[in-house]
Each structure stands twice: as C-alpha cells, then as structure tokens.
Amino acid sequence: MRRLRNVKIVATLGPASSDYATIRALFEAGADVFRLNMSHGTHDDIRARHVHIRKVEADLGRPICILADLQGPKLRVGTFADGPVELVEGAKFRMDLSTVPGDVTRVNLPHPEIFAALEPGATLLVNDGKIALRVDDCGKDFANCTVTVPGAISNRKGVNVPDVVLPVAALSEKDRVDLEFACELGVDWLALSFVQRPEDVLEAKDLARGRALVLAKIEKPAAVKAYDAILQVSDGIMVARGDLGVELPVYTVPPIQKRLIRGARAAAKPVIVATQMLESMIESPVPTRAEVSDVATAIYEGADAVMLSAESAAGKYPIEAVTTMNNVAISVEKDPTYRQVIEASRNIRRESIADGIVAAAREIAEATNIKAIATFSQSGTTASLVSRERPRVPIIALTPLMSSARRMALTWGLHCVICEPQIRLKGAVLAAVKAAREEGFASVEDNIVLTAGVPFNVKGTTNVLRVAPCDERLISNVDPE
C-alpha cells in the first residue's frame, strides 16, 4: 500500500475508533501512525486497541507505527463548597493548601511544588487560560492573587504556570506505570508530556531502556527556551500547540512552530504538529477553510507528521477526518511552491560520511531519471538522514527489523520494507531492486539509487552509494567475493 504523499498522518484512537474495522478503515484512508492516549481508557482498553492495530498490520502487510502518549502530571484546583463561582476582574482570590472546600475568595491548590516556585508578579492560568490570576504575594503554602481575566471557576479545573520552571517531574507515578505497560505491550514511540528540561527526557529514555523511542512534547514556555538541549537528547519532537497556546500569547505560536520544525528537521529527527488541526470535524463532516490552511502550513513547513486528536478518537467523522487530511497533504505536495519552500529551507550541516552519501544520493536522483532512493537502515538513522534531505523521489527504507520499520513509519517520506539480512553488496542491490519493483516505485527499465553501510547490519556505517538498474540481468560484478 503506497501513499501518494510524504508527510505522515497520526490518528488518535478512542471511543469512536476502537474496533478492528474502524482502525483498518482509518489506515486505508491514510493513517500511518496510531496514537494511544494514556490519559483516557484503561490498560485493557489500550491493550485491545494495540491488538487490533497489529492485526491490521498483519492483514495488510504494512508496518504500522504505534505512539503511546503519556499523560504527564495534572495540576488542578480542589473543589468548591457550593458549585462554580464567578471571579470578577480586580477581585482578590487566594490559593492555598487547606483542604476546606473553596468559595468566591479562595480554593485549595494541592501542589506545594507550585507555591515553592512562585514569585510575586507571576501568572496563574485556570481552565485552559480562560481565567488569569496575578500573584501579589506568596509563601510555601499560599498565593494571594488578583483576578486579571475574569470567569467561572469550578471543581478540579486545570492550572498552568507559564512564568516559572516548576520543580515537578515530567513523569508522575501513573506515567511510570503507563510507560512500563506501553513498553511491555510493544509500542514504538513514547510521547512525553510536561517536558521542561532535557533531564525529563533522559529519565524517560532510561526507563524505556531502548524498548521504545522517546518523543518530547513541546508544550511549555520552559521547553521552548530549552529547546536545543531537549532536541539533542530526544528521538523526536511534538509541537503540542494546545498548551503552548494557553501558556504563551497565541500569536507567538506560529513562529515557534516554524522554529521547532526547522530545528528538528536539521537534526534529522521526526517532528509532529498536533492539536486542533481539524477541530470542527469532531461535529462536522467537513472542515473549515482555516483548518485546511493550518494543516497545509505545517506541511509546507516540512513537518514529518500532522496529528488528529479528538477528531479521530471521539468525533462523529473519524474516517472523514483522516481522508481530509490525506487529501490536503496530497494537494499541497503536488503544488510547485511546496518544492520551492522545502528546498529553500534545506539548511543542513554535513559533518559525516553518511551526511555526504545521502546528500549525493538526493542530488543524483534529482539530476537524472532515478525513480527512487533505496536505503538500508538497521536502526533507522541513515533513513532519517535521507528523509532530512526531502528528496523529490520516493524513499524506500529497507531493514531486517520489524521494530525499526515500525519506528521509521513516523518519518517523512519513508516507505518501509522488511527484507532479509544482507551480508554482501550484491544481495543488497538485488533486494533493493526487488522492493522497488514489487512496491510499485520502478519498472525493469528504470534505475534506483542505493545507500548502504559495509559491513552490513552495523549501526553508523553508511559508506556506499550505488546507482542500480532494476533489471537483475544487468547487475553483475557488484560483489566479486
């Protein structure tokens, strides 16, 4: 099953998309990656969805990537004695550690770590930023505030603290349990919420022990500030625009998105753009023009993947949402302007032999009548470097490891194929030619470009570039031994 576009589509599973038939229909409509949201559903629910995905994978013969999204710590106020209260602008309001139910003057905030980090002048945001409080004075167990943006506050509404780095670990106790469950289940990627510093990512990677790759969700101002350091230790990035738009002025999010995408691309690490991409399709079978433009913008910027959340998890039209996103992607990538934008943003520091090999492969493919670039990749690193080049021709990523094929399915342009382990160059060339023809990328009259590393099946040895005819009879004396 060959996609007609390079950007990947991530579809979140949920109550509207939990059975085998719907998951298969979502994949056939264009979903390349399925997101399991650990914030919702039991482990039994998650396990059942995982089983269905792997059955679809086996039935259709295509590697499918699974992303488990960890919830992260949730900072919430306590309860109110008489239900919701209305906070008016200029009113005084106190948050403290007292467990007494709240009223119009105060409420419990059961998070001493927040009080420990606050300073006068800091901002507290409640209920996704609908209410804003300015901290006037504070101590280890309280914060006296003034209401700057009024609104209704009710039981257990979320709290955001945009101005400070909180002494809160990205992994709650629930997240640690969920991480171990997801890794044992066999997911391919973990999305880490509440990242503020590179140490948060390193802790998750230490717990994952290589069983899954770790993707850092950039959703807090602290993560934006520390982005370069976080990117360096992460396997991938998610631009989580929901919380970014709460904790930062919403008009700053588009330039931040552009910078995060370019940084991840330069590092050859996959980047997902997420949150509210086709939000209206939760209730409507068609999106707004603004939503279509939003998806298109992320694709023009070179994102590896665009993501659906509630649209596919709980919406009325999950398959239509994937179909729409697929059609938008195909339309954008056919636009000549798309190639101009992508190539103008190709800002890559080439410092290794592998960097040079993949750059040369792209240039040869684009300068001649080459039908595809085939790359052998044990771990996925070389395939990611080829993807970073954003070539005009398809990329066939060959690997003997199903785990690597699944992980690479998140990366821009990679059509992943499982092949036999190779020990000689001639065998690799023949395997690449066979894959190019069987997967519909080339015919017997065509040529492909091959990148590989000798010795084979050793990480980080990319050192071979070869133009190969797709007629096996013309492949001779490739490997004299």
Q: What single letter denotes the amino acid at residue 176?
A: R
Q: Is the C-alpha dihedral spanning 194, 198, 204, 207 positive or negative?
A: negative
Q: In whole angstroms, what is the distance from residue 14 CA to residue 449 CA?
A: 41
Cβ-based neighbours of 466, under 8 Å, separated by 6 or more: 425, 429, 449, 450, 452, 478
Single out the catalytic residue among 5, 217, 371, 407: 217
Q: In whole angstroms, what is the distance from residue 356 CA to residue 284 CA?
A: 48
Can you list the pairs that 402-405 forms with residues at least 24 positions away whose Cβ atoms lie under 8 Å?
Answer: 402/63, 403/188, 404/377, 404/378, 404/379, 404/380, 405/63
Single out the catalytic residue among 3, 54, 74, 76: 76
CB 188 within 8 A of CB 407: yes
Q: In whole angstroms, what is the distance from residue 205 CA to residue 190 CA?
A: 9
In the annotation, is 217 catalytic? yes
Q: In whole angstroms, what is the distance from residue 202 CA to residue 230 CA?
A: 9
Single out the catalytic residue among 5, 8, 24, 35: 35
CB 377 within 8 A of CB 408: yes
Packed helices 173-185 and 43-60: angle between N→C axes, nearest 10 degrees = 30
In the annotation, is 76 catalytic? yes
Residue 425 is inside which H or E element, if any? helix 425-438
In the annotation, is 35 catalytic? yes
Biggest CA pair distance of the chain: 84
Q: How many residues does the chain have?
A: 481
Q: In whole angstroms, what is the distance from residue 270 CA to residue 287 CA?
A: 26
In the annotation, is 337 catalytic? no
Single out the catalytic residue among 12, 275, 411, 451: 275
What residues are labeled active site?
35, 76, 217, 275
